């Protein structure tokens, strides 16, 4: 059973005028597609959707979309938002059977930042990527992928190929030969100055 279930109602009236009327009543138009079943036009309660979207896992999790025709396992594939207000104006759900191959974006969770060796040595952590696209079966879809940076030193750069993915998970970019940098630990001005001061002190002592 999915951790997330969202209730939907089938909608017959389509088109811009119909969707505008729908939004004025506190509903959001949506579509459910994919698999061997025909697409279904739906409407969702805006307040329920807003609450679900506050949970990071909702974006990369198998969802249950409940409607008059039954319950479908699905993933969130698209959100359209108003350019000025950022209010969600349309939602796309893709059906997700357990053996279906998905291409989904999932967040990266960086762990052990507080005890990162490079940070303790005075370096600063910089994130280049905060999410990645994965290719996997729906049943293997991870909520997030952990990236352990405890042992990164000042000057170290961690790439996609350094990430340990759960079984059955493939990083899409890496599969296409694009090994992008993910996180680095770089020297700060303060730590650089300390190194220079330290070297100068040694020389002074040697001269003495």
The C-alpha atoms of residue 48 and residue 27 are separated, in whole angstroms, by: 10
What residues contact residue 177 under an 8 Å CB cut-off, 6+ apart?
A: none
- List the CATH number of the domain containing 176: 2.170.120.20
What residues contact residue 201 under an 8 Å CB cut-off, 6+ apart?
A: none
Residue 170 within a domain: yes
End-of-domain residue from the set 78, 96, 114? 96
Q: What are phi and psi of 179, to 5 degrees?
A: -90, 80
Same domain, 124 and 76: no
Per-residue pLDDT tens over the stretch 134-185: 999 999 999 999 999 999 999 999 999 999 999 999 999 999 999 999 999 9
- List the CATH number of the domain containing 12: 2.40.240.10
Same domain, 90 and 14: yes
Which helix (H) or strand (E) is 191 found in, with range?
helix 189-207
Enclosing domain of residue 123: 103-193
Q: In the chain, how many domains are there?
A: 2
The closest of 134, 157, 144, 159 to 111, measured between CA atoms, is 144
Same domain, 80 and 109: no
End-of-domain residue from the set 35, 62, 96? 96
Per-residue pLDDT tens over the stretch 24-80: 889 999 999 988 889 999 999 999 999 999 999 999 999 999 998 889 999 999 999
Same domain, 54 and 92: yes
Calculate the average pLDDT of the chain.
88
Is residue 197 predicted with pLDDT exceeding 60? no
pTM of the predicted protein model? 0.78
Residue 150 within a domain: yes
Percent of the chain with pLDDT over 90: 72
The closest of 13, 81, 16, 76 to 43, measured between CA atoms, is 13
Residue 207 within a domain: no
Is residue 204 predicted with pLDDT exceeding 90? no
> Do residues 138 and 76 lie in contact, with contact meaning Cβ atoms separated by under 8 Å?
no
Same domain, 88 and 142: no
What is the number of other CB atoms lying within 10 angstroms of the CB of residue 146?
14
> Do residues 100 and 137 lie in contact, with contact meaning Cβ atoms separated by under 8 Å?
yes
The C-alpha atoms of residue 14 and residue 11 are separated, in whole angstroms, by: 8
> Do residues 90 and 29 lie in contact, with contact meaning Cβ atoms separated by under 8 Å?
yes
């Amino acid at each position: 059973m999915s951790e997330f279930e969202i209730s939907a109602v089938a909608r017959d009236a389509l088109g811009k005028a119909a969707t505008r009327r729908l939004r004025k009543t506190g509903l959001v138009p949506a579509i459910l597609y994919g698999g061997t079943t025909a697409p279904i036009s739906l409407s969702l309660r805006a307040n329920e959707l807003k609450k679900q979207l506050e949970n990071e896992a909702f974006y990369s999790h198998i969802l249950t979309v409940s409607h008059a025709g039954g319950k479908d396992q699905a993933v969130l594939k698209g959100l359209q938002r108003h350019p000025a207000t950022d209010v969600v104006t349309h939602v796309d759900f893709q059906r997700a059977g357990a053996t279906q191959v998905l291409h989904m974006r999932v967040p990266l969770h960086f762990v052990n930042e507080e005890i990162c060796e490079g940070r303790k040595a005075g370096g600063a952590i910089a994130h280049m990527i905060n999410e990645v696209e994965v290719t996997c079966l729906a049943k293997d879809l991870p909520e997030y992928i952990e990236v352990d940076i405890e042992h990164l030193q000042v000057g170290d750069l961690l790439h996609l190929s350094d990430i340990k993915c759960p079984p059955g998970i493939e990083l899409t970019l890496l599969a296409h030969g694009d090994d992008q940098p993910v996180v680095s630990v770089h020297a700060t001005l303060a730590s650089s100055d300390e190194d220079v001061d330290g070297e100068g002190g040694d020389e002074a002592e040697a001269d003495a």
